[in-house]
Amino acid sequence: MWAPLSERRLWHRGPLVVVLVLLAVGCSGSDETAGPADVATVLATTAEAMAEVGTVAFTIERTGAAVFLDEGGSLVFNQAKGRFSSEGAAVDAVLRVTALGIETQMGAVSV
């Protein structure tokens, strides 16, 4: 489970897995020029690709409008860098956030 960073959990495994799946599909190196795929095909293809992956490193950076992690609007997401391991479904990440105008980093671990 994620270590609680506040009263409300900021991260859940479901959204992280979706992001990793989208990264795997978006980063696949195919020379084929095909039209848009339907959602079921993308998910099936991604699931097959992710089944073969042991570890994935990821970076998520926010651009554009601020994304608040709390209801009060005092914690702004800037960046996340981390790793996902399918062996035991472990995740670790370092989040770069701006809290009350001060940029800082937070660590998150799921084992």
Helix, strand, coil percentages, rounded to 5, for the chain: 25, 35, 40
Question: Mind listing the pLDDT tens digit for each residue in 89-103?
Answer: 778 889 899 998 899
Question: Mind listing the pLDDT tens digit for each residue in 33-63?
Answer: 667 778 888 888 888 887 788 888 989 999 9
Which amino acid is present at 3? A
Per-residue pLDDT, 38: 84
Both tokens of 11, joined, read 């991260």
